[in-house]
Amino acid sequence: MIDKEYLLSTIRDVPDFPKPGIVFKDITTLLNNAQAFTMLMEHLENRYKEYNLDFIAGIESRGFIFGAALATRLGIGFVPVRKKGKLPYTTVDEKYALEYGIDEIEIHIDAFRNKKDARVLLIDDLIATGGTAEAAAKLIKKVGANLLEACFIINLTFLHGEEKIKQHTNFYSVLEIA
């Protein structure tokens, strides 16, 4: 059993970042706490060890931390989902709406080594409105992989981002903040 209250206590609130009125959830204080990070990774490993995954896809940039660590624990490959223009090889991209404008993320066209119906877990540190995560889910499917679930360390439930993800795959969050 994971101690959710303990994990929540290791996450720092930073008021008015990146702009006034926002309370940023800073996970660096969880990452630099060996006991908390180990507890979290053991929980994720236990949850996903029976999923028979082929790859974990992590969303830039904090999803890289959790995704790569979990992939290593499970003995599978890690795939980065990056902002437009950051990957060196042929990519597939997906646009998504921001509060004021549009952004894009991309994945290598052969990210899953052309494995037919590769079994993939998508992971990131936090889901807010769900735009980036939904775009990542669409990318994974565009390149022919089978997205089994999207996992987030923190779900800001009051923003309802999980509703966008549930249209594409199963949804799981370790912690919820209302």
pLDDT value of residue 66? 98
pLDDT tens across 14-51, in order? 999 999 999 999 999 999 999 999 999 999 999 999 99
Give yes or no: 62 in active site: yes
Q: Which candidate in 47, 60, 62, 176 is catalytic?
A: 62
For residues 150 and 47, what is the distance between their CA atoms, to the nearest angstrom? Answer: 13
pLDDT tens across 112-165, in order? 998 999 999 999 999 999 999 999 999 999 999 999 999 999 999 999 999 999
pLDDT value of residue 158? 96
CB atoms within 10 A of CB 157: 13
CB 153 within 8 A of CB 27: yes
pLDDT tens across 82-110, in order? 999 999 999 999 999 987 789 999 999 99
Question: What are the structural domain ranges in the chain?
Answer: 4-176
Pick the CATH number of 4-176 from 3.40.50.2020, 3.90.180.10, 3.40.50.720, 3.40.920.10: 3.40.50.2020
pLDDT value of residue 149? 98
Q: What is the per-residue DSSP string for 7-46?
A: HHHTSEEEET-SSTT-EEEETHHHHT-HHHHHHHHHHHHH
Give yes or no: 99 in active site: yes
pLDDT value of residue 25? 97
